[in-house]
Homo-oligomer: A and B are copies of this chain.
């Protein structure tokens, strides 16, 4: 990530950046965090928890997160169709890290909001 990598390298030679930008994207993070809290969620339920996300973006992100191995998609041939999303073991290991970050945010967001306000007055 740092000193040992030639900073002139194009980003496609830095998979960490690529992977991180998917996994820590705002919507992806929320999806993963909610799936960490509720082991199984269906599309519309997930959409309610990840408040404000659109069908389009939710379905895009779910595909990418599935491709990257964080989540699993199980479709049941019922009518109407039922689809269940859940974390993989890999996703579970990630959500633990992510949760630490979320907790830091929970603790520190008041400071940030205070900073913002102070900054606005300058």
Chain A residues in contact with chain B, CB under 8 A?
1-3, 7-11, 14-26, 29-30, 33-34, 37, 48-49, 51-52, 66-69, 90, 93-94, 97-98, 100-102, 104-106, 108-113, 115-116, 119-120
Contacts and interface: CB of A to CB of B under 8 A. Distances in A.
Contact of A24 (B7, B16, B29, B37): B29
Contact of A16 (B3, B11, B109): B109
Nearest to A53: B11
Nearest to A50: B7
Nearest to A68: B112
A115 B18 CA distance: 14
A51 B7 CA distance: 6
